[in-house]
Amino acid sequence: MQTTVLVTGGSGLVGNGIRLALENASSPLKRDDEKWIFSSSKDVDLTDSGATRSYFERVRPTYVIHLAAKVGGLYANMSGNLEFFRQNMLINENVLSSSHAVGAKKVISCLSTCIFPDRVSYPIDETMIHNGPPHDSNYGYSYAKRMIDIMNK
């Protein structure tokens, strides 16, 4: 039986890195019994619950690597904190609920370094994610990313 791995945000930095690693002929990641699908916003609007569910029902992923997010530069983040929060919460909810609905065995979600508190001692690790508010410049994006940690528990 073939395993299907769906990578949301497959055209982004990390998604492209995974794709390049798999394309390497000697890659230990490559397996004949796996089908990898790298989705982008051109394939499905992950903020739309119906479209997301339909896409997941069509693809039927065994595993999901969730990298998709609404991202922007510093000015966009600062001027659109609420919109970044809303859009990313929709994406997260739709990906996680659709993964569950189609019986995906595992979802791996990628967080961002901006989720860490603005004031933190180094070195940092994932146990420190909720130890204080993130930097004001990307509150919305950071909190939406933090919520993946909570939603996955």
Q: Which residues are annotated as catalytic? A: 141
Beta partners for 107? 64
What distance, in Å, lies between the first and last C-alpha atoms of the chain?
29
Name the residue with tokens 């979802």.
Answer: 107
**Structure tokens given for 147:** 């919520």
Q: Give the relative orientation of helices 81-101 and 49-59 as an angle to the nearest 10 degrees.
A: 40
Q: DSSP label at 43?
A: T
45: its two tokens:
């609007």
Residue by residue, DSSP assigns 100-150 as HHTT-SEEEE---GGGS-SS--SS--GGGTTSS---GGGHHHHHHHHHHHH
